[in-house]
Chain A
Amino acid sequence: GAVVSQHPSRVICKSGTSVKIECRSLDFQATTMFWYRQFPKQSLMLMATSNEGSKATYEQGVEKDKFLINHASLTLSTLTVTSAHPEDSSFYICSARDPGQGGETQYFGPGTRLLVL
């Protein structure tokens, strides 16, 4: 099946710094990627839809200036958590649609654990 990678797998940073998370589709081109946030023992919360070459679409309540998304190529989307604070600590997961599968199947990355001190 299609493979999606994320980097880094975990990151610890100080409050006020910015953190960039990369999401890559390794064996397919993804015009659309999704960013999710997951709190412990909870389901995934969609943050935004990332479209290659255009602005991301953010879900209601997600601060677009706080969570910057860039989808510069068909295989890479990045999420930058700007001026991170402890409440931003969470598990961030990206997914990508594989157009070879009809575009309806999403494949998920392994996630990035962010801890803000």
Chain B
Amino acid sequence: AQSVTQPDIHITVSEGASLELRCNYSYGATPYLFWYVQSPGQGLQLLLKYFSGDTLVQGIKGFEAEFKRSQSSFNLRKPSVHWSDAAEYFCAVGAWGNTPLVFGKGTRLSVIA
């Protein structure tokens, strides 16, 4: 069965500290991987995506993610968190064609001064 696991429901980091949000997936086909961010009451904004090639992908707002096939992981990282990064982050997996995305349950990020 296709699934995405985000083990951390809520993470709190200090502003300026580094961040890593974990994502593990289970997918039968060749996966396409995504990270989205959602601010309260808003839709989802695409941060970055991995289809193939270089396993370290760069996204918007200074985020990056690394695809590790052996660990079935696609963790999101940012070297220095800003207060405006506080939001809900969703990892998702999909495949070629009209296959719907499968989402993780999300990780809520809080940023403290």
Residues on A lying within 8 angstroms of B by beta carbon are 1, 4, 6, 31-32, 34, 41-44, 46, 49, 51, 91, 93, 95, 97, 102-111, 113
Contacts A44-B103, A46-B100, A102-B51; A6 near B46 (Cβ below 8 A) = no
Taking a contact as CB atoms under 8 Å apart, the answer to whether B100 and A34 are in contact is: yes
Majority SS at the chain A contact face = strand
Q: Which residue of chain A lies nearest to B6 when distances are taken between CB atoms in the complex?
A: A43
Within 8 A of A (CB), among B19-55: 32, 34, 36, 41-46, 49, 51
A105-B49 in contact given A43-B90, A110-B42 (Cβ < 8 Å) = yes
Task: Answer whether A97 and B98 are a contact pair too, CB < 8 Å, given A43-B104, A44-B103.
Answer: yes
Docked complex Cα distance between A5 and B46 (Å): 15
Q: Is the CB of A6 within 8 A of B98?
A: no
User: Could you say which of A6, A32, A103 contacts B96, with CB atoms under 8 Å apart?
Assistant: A103
Q: Within residues 39 to 97 of chain B, which ones have a CB less than 8 A from any CB in chain A?
A: 41-46, 49, 51, 90, 94-97
In the complex, residue of chain B having the shortest beta-carbon distance to the beta carbon of A10 = B41
Residues on B with C-beta less than 8 A from A108 are 36, 43-46
